[in-house]
Amino acid sequence: MESSMDAARIMEYLKGKSILITGSTGFLGKILVEKILRVQPRVHKMYLLVRAVDAPSAKQRVQQEVIGTELFGLLRDKYCEGFDLFIQDKIVALAGDIADEDLGLDAPTLHGLAKHMDVIVNVAATTNFYERYDVSLDVNVMGVKHLCQFAKRCANLKLLMHVSTAYVSGDSAEVILENPMKPGESLRDGVRLDIDAELRLVSDAKKDLPTTASGDDGNATERKAMKELGLQRARHFGWSNTYVFTKAMGEMVLEQHRGDGDLPAAAVVIVRPSIITSVRADPLPGWMQGTRTIDTLIIGYAKQSISCFLADLRMVMDVIPGDMVVNAMLAAAAAARSEEQPPQAVSIYQVTSSLRNPATYAVLYRAGSRHFDEHPRVRDNGEVIPNTEMRFFPTIPEFRLYMVLTFKLPLEILHLVNMLLCGLFSKLYNDSNRKYNFVMLLVDVYGPFAFFKGCFDDTNVERLRSTMVMKSPEDDMFNFDPKSIDWDDYFYRIHIPGVLKYVCK
Ligand SMILES: NC(=O)c1ccc[n+]([C@@H]2O[C@H](COP(=O)([O-])OP(=O)(O)OC[C@H]3O[C@@H](n4cnc5c(N)ncnc54)[C@H](OP(=O)(O)O)[C@@H]3O)[C@@H](O)[C@H]2O)c1
């Protein structure tokens, strides 16, 4: 029988725990660190593994990029002069890299950590859709392997939590269940996926690169080749981009280690959020970091850099605020009991909204129009910029046709004129052509994502939610129910102002 969950149980779970967190300098990682410190000051310690050359640089990064951000304002106000001491007591910055063997830590440090670590939360990833294949494999796949190897050494480990993405399951137009990624299985029938073979392929491809290019040229050649290889391999196995493909392989690595009985008797949990948006409730509504796919619409409109967008306004974009993702992670952590988890199984939670409370692109667009009507954009000279309707292309072919007619044809004419005038407009032509190709590449990489037709099932999350007892106002602190969100109000009052304030600046 499932026991009930409430704020008190989550806070009790965190009490006295030693927690290793990766990815704390990123968007989601910061929200997680702040929340744990705020709801359970008696957590034993949080070890934040960040990429840095040495311990002082790691400490400095944590200070500047995590603790020093606006997100920690509520905590700073709470502790006043005691804030620094509190942080010193609770946070340990570790200089490391999940892509390296032993997480890039020296043997004594690793040994010391392994002795008393209770919980590992892997938030780190490279989230670039068009990342180099070698880098993506190193971070999103080998990084998970290195964390599993570390977990194996932790005698007292209670939980290994891995943050993945709901999009690992591919571009299916169906209800996507919280099913595990089976090692070796790709999204294409009859095509086996062998991670070791992919690693060898990358290494061979690098060796095969022409040796004529060296220095910056060589780096650029390698970068381009690795990016193209990632996309090509992703598509070969049925995924739409390098990011989701390597995140899927990361889950397979975790499944493999679990299946082989290669992890300690800890619970293993995978959290799969969809598109994470700004903080909805606490500690700072609207706070966010980095530009997500849907936010390019808001930023592009605010900066007047785009007049059209690739989206079908009737389609659902699966979004979920960052604080709700963290609340779900904490509830899932407190609920995870290795003795209750079937042996060698991994619990999967899709922290998403499309099934319970879908939000369409139209809701975001309406909220944006309302925002910019009420807060008009102003030029440097104080002149108000009139709001114009944005043009939406509901299919990729329609957008391609528009691009060809509006930009490619004039470019080709320029190309001809340039030849007739012995290269007088070469620079203009080359620059414009490069920009055109870049936009078309973005369409290729992000397009399938914009027209994602699937709907994420969240039965495990709903089950967890149904055990949440709402007895005290504190219980609302861990709300992760998308049904409680009024999307129109959230986009208009919180998310759009948040993107403009914290991302667009
Ligand atoms: N944001 C979303 O919409 C979304 C949606 C679904 C799932 N997710 C998942 O949620 C997690 C967090 O996403 P996010 O948006 O917070 O990402 P983010 O802002 O890009 O942050 C990524 C974090 O990973 C760290 N990292 C990257 N490579 C590393 C390495 N080799 N060793 C150690 N740390 C490394 C980065 O450190 P540096 O500061 O050194 O670069 C950074 O702290 C990821 O696992 C992502 O796949 C995100």
The Cα–Cα gap between 353 and 235 comes to: 27
250 ligand 1 Cβ < 6 A: no
CA of 24 to the centre of ligand 1 (A): 8
The Cα–Cα gap between 96 and 361 comes to: 40
3 state DSSP class of 290: coil
Substitution site in 20, 25, 269, 271 for ligand 1 pocket (most atoms within 8 Å of beta carbon): 25
The two three-digit tokens of residue 50, written as one number: 């960040």
CA of 274 to the centre of ligand 1 (A): 14
The Cα–Cα gap between 245 and 312 comes to: 25
Question: Considering only 31-35, 67-71, 177-181, 422-426, which range has the smallest mean pLDDT?
Answer: 422-426
CB 493 within 8 A of CB 298: no
Long-range contacts of 196-200 (CB under 8 A, 24+ apart): 198/137, 198/233, 198/249, 199/137, 199/142
* pLDDT confidence tier of residue 343, bands split at 50, 70 and 90: low
Atom of ligand 1 at shortest distance to CA of 138?
31
Q: Which of 419, 300, 294, 414 is closest to 361 using CA atoms?
A: 294
Q: At what angle do helices 426-450 and 409-420 cross, to 10 degrees?
A: 160
pLDDT the model gives residue 1? 46
pLDDT above 70: percentage of residues in the chain: 96
Find the catalytic residue in 133, 243, 490, 492.
Answer: 243
pLDDT the model gives residue 263? 80
CB 339 within 8 A of CB 169: no
* pLDDT confidence tier of residue 5, bands split at 50, 70 and 90: confident
98 ligand 1 Cβ < 6 A: yes
CB 51 within 8 A of CB 93: no
For the question of residue 167 being annotated catalytic, the response is: no
pLDDT the model gives residue 27? 97
CA of 272 to the centre of ligand 1 (A): 13
140 ligand 1 Cβ < 6 A: no
The Cα–Cα gap between 268 and 49 comes to: 20
Q: Which residues contact 10 (CB under 8 A, 6 or more apart)?
A: 39, 330, 331, 333, 334, 478
> Phi and psi at residue 347, in whole multiples of 5°?
-85, 135
CB 56 within 8 A of CB 68: no
CB 195 within 8 A of CB 141: yes
| Closest residue by CA, ligand 1 atom 24 | 124
Q: Which of 209, 192, 497, 212 is closest to 370 using CA atoms?
A: 497
Each residue of 125-141: pLDDT tens digit?
999 999 999 999 999 99
The Cα–Cα gap between 318 and 306 comes to: 23
CA of 164 to the centre of ligand 1 (A): 10
Question: Considering only 15-24, 60-69, 263-272, which range has the smallest mean pLDDT?
Answer: 263-272
CA distances from 38 to 65, 76, 119 (A): 18, 10, 18
| Closest residue by CA, ligand 1 atom 19 | 26
CB 324 within 8 A of CB 351: yes
The Cα–Cα gap between 419 and 411 comes to: 12
Each residue of 197-231: pLDDT tens digit?
999 999 999 998 876 656 666 688 999 999 999 99
Q: What is the largest CA-CA distance in the chain?
A: 81
DSSP 189: T
The Cα–Cα gap between 265 and 2 comes to: 20
Q: At what angle do helices 7-14 and 322-335 cross, to 10 degrees?
A: 70
**List of domains in the chain:** 7-290+318-357+454-485 (3.40.50.720)
CB 308 within 8 A of CB 407: no
CB 449 within 8 A of CB 240: yes
Each residue of 154-170: pLDDT tens digit?
999 999 999 999 999 99
The Cα–Cα gap between 235 and 448 comes to: 11
99 ligand 1 Cβ < 6 A: yes
CA distances from 174 to 185, 400, 457 (A): 19, 27, 10
Find the catalytic residue in 35, 145, 227, 247.
Answer: 247
161 ligand 1 Cβ < 6 A: no
For the question of residue 349 being annotated catalytic, the response is: no
Q: Which of 410, 395, 408 is closest to 439 using CA atoms?
A: 408
The two three-digit tokens of residue 166, written as one number: 């709901």
CA of 127 to the centre of ligand 1 (A): 6
DSSP 391: E
CA of 163 to the centre of ligand 1 (A): 9
Question: Considering only 63-67, 384-388, 418-422, 463-467, which range has the smallest mean pLDDT?
Answer: 384-388
The DSSP element (H or E) to which 83 belongs, if any, is helix 83-90
